[in-house]
Amino acid sequence: MAVEVIMPQMGESIFEGTITKWLKKPGDAIERDEPLFEISTDKVDAEIPSPAAGVLKEIRVEEGKTVPIQTVVALIESPGAQAAAAKPAATRAPEAAAKPAAPARVQAPPPQPAQKPAERPAPAPPPIPSPERPAREAEASEEETETLASDGRRIRTSPLVRRLARENKIDLGSIRGTGAGGRISKKDVLDAISAGQRPGAPPSQPAAPSEAPAAEVAPVHTVLETALPRERIYFGRYEVQPMSVMRQRIAEHMVLSKRVSPHVYSIDEADMTRIAHVRQAARAEFEQKHQIKLTFMPFFVRACADALRDFPMVNASVEGTNVVVHGEINIGIAVALDWGLIVPVLKHAEEKNFLGLQRGINDLAERARAKKLKPEDVQESTFSITNPGTFGGLMGLPIINQPNVAILGIGAIQKRPVVIDDAIAIRSMVYLTLSYDHRVVDGAMAHQFMRRVKERLETWAEDVI
């Protein structure tokens, strides 16, 4: 029996996904829960396991294609599925048993309960079956509410879409939605912003096809415009390398952050000599006792969490003319990947002891590199940290990770000569840079925050074992 593999919903606010790589080809044998393909969404990249054991019969959606959730992307010929389906069929009424069997639809992850044979339509179901549509609309309603367009029409949109439209003075009634059921997606609003659309303006017309070399990947959002005409870019000898889906998302988020938040930067340096000695002395025992590596990152996370408690406006977000001051401290920690960058979130950092911080940091980094993160692992950050020093960078000026109002950049920890009590000493020093949103955070507050972080690092007294 053929088991349908469908595009899973990786979060309540996610309605589509892009298949970035098939890990099996038609004719290959596959075990249940063995990785079958990789997807990329607005939130996270992930490996999707096979919902059944058998042989990959057909691939219906090629790499690089973006499709709505619940779309059938492949078929698996699974003898076990036929046997499993036969048991409930035997207990049905005679008229139900007479209906021809349809391919079993299975979603992974999370696994969905199998429907009873009598409830399946006789022909092969379309990509989005009607029995499942109300359930998805019910889920979406938790994230979406109705808003009125300028012409009085009611439009269902997410809070993010409404915020983007409001901040950029875009009339949602003038935008044609391309999402599921005609909903207006974030991409639709970004396209309107890029086209310079304003209230009352007609919907932007699609741009003429470019003569640039095409590639079988999802198109780059038009918000990522180029600074020069294309004839000044394509010259001489060149090779066109299309952006991956993740790179497109990174580019989109960075451009949006620079447009929304007026960035200001503060730079300081901290003496890490005490912490370097503490780490060196405790490293062997810590790693033997807890079976995890002891890094510098939990020291910085602890210092930031303590400083954020003292300066809660740095632990905030902006929504229109409102400042949302968060009660919990959720620190996003940038993780460099071979194929891009992602910022998983260490939730409730203020409640964790030192061991809990190190375990959480290691767990997020490992799952990010293994493509095992869930959408909730990259959401609800209140502050972010990036560490270019890992790659030898002396310092960096990072872009704010929305919806945060600040991000800390950590440079390389290096031994340098410094003046202490009119004497030159060799100390382990690090440059710290704070990028902050001047709509909320002023220079005085930023430097006070940085001074608190510096004091916490230089006077470290917490036991790490």
Q: Which residues are catalytic?
A: 438, 442
The two three-digit tokens of residue 281, written as one number:
């002395």
Residue 291, CA atoms < 13 Å, CB-side half-sphere: 1
For CA atoms 450, 451, 456, 458, the dihedral sign is positive
Q: Give dist(CA 183, CA 176) in Å, integer.
A: 8
Residues facing residue 146 across a β-bridge: 156
Q: What is the CA radius of gyration of the chain?
A: 26
For CA atoms 155, 156, 157, 163, the dihedral sign is positive
Strand segments, DSSP code E, in 295-392 are 316-319, 322-325, 331-333, 335-337, 340-342, 345-346, 383-386
Whether the CB-CB separation of 53 and 78 falls below 8 Å is answered with yes
Q: Is 143 helix (H, G, I), strand (E, B) or coil?
A: helix
Q: Tell the burial category of 55 from Cβ atoms under 10 Å away from its Cβ (0-12, 13-18, 19+).
A: middle
The two three-digit tokens of residue 453, written as one number:
């972080």
Q: Is 418 helix (H, G, I), strand (E, B) or coil?
A: strand
Q: Are strands 35-40 and 45-49 parallel, antiparallel or unpaired?
A: antiparallel
Whether the CB-CB separation of 37 and 21 falls below 8 Å is answered with yes
| Eight-class DSSP state of 375 | G
CA dihedral 287, 285, 413, 309 (to 10 degrees): 80
Whether the CB-CB separation of 186 and 161 falls below 8 Å is answered with yes
Q: Give dist(CA 383, CA 332) in Å, integer.
A: 6
Q: Give dist(CA 169, CA 202) in Å, integer.
A: 14
Amino acid at the residue 51: P
